[in-house]
Amino acid sequence: METGIQPPAGTSDGQGWCHWHDGPSGTARLVDAHERQSGPPVALYACAPCREQRGLPVRLEAS
């Protein structure tokens, strides 16, 4: 059932949310988006522990 815990407002852009453990995180960073065969790539955020466990690369902002 629902836990009643919901992400705070203003985080719809994904920052502050880890898509790997599906919970809020203060260390979430944008990682390389999953490429799909159709549609645009999906931006995913992962927190530091999840990135370490899975070896996720942080997407560096290109300028």
Query: What is the closest distance, in whole angstroms, from the C-beta atom of residue 53 to Zn ion in the complex?
Result: 8
Give me the DSSP letters along 6-61.
-PPTT-TTSTTEETTTTEE-TT-EEEEEEP-SSSPPEEEEE-HHHHHHHTPPBPPP
Query: What is the closest distance, in whole angstroms, from the C-beta atom of residue 18 to Zn ion in the complex?
Result: 3
User: Is the Cβ of residue 44 or residue 47 nearer to Zn ion in the bound state?
Assistant: 47
Residues that bind Zn ion (CB under 5 A): 18, 20-21, 47, 50
User: Is the Cβ of residue 31 or residue 47 nearer to Zn ion in the bound state?
Assistant: 47
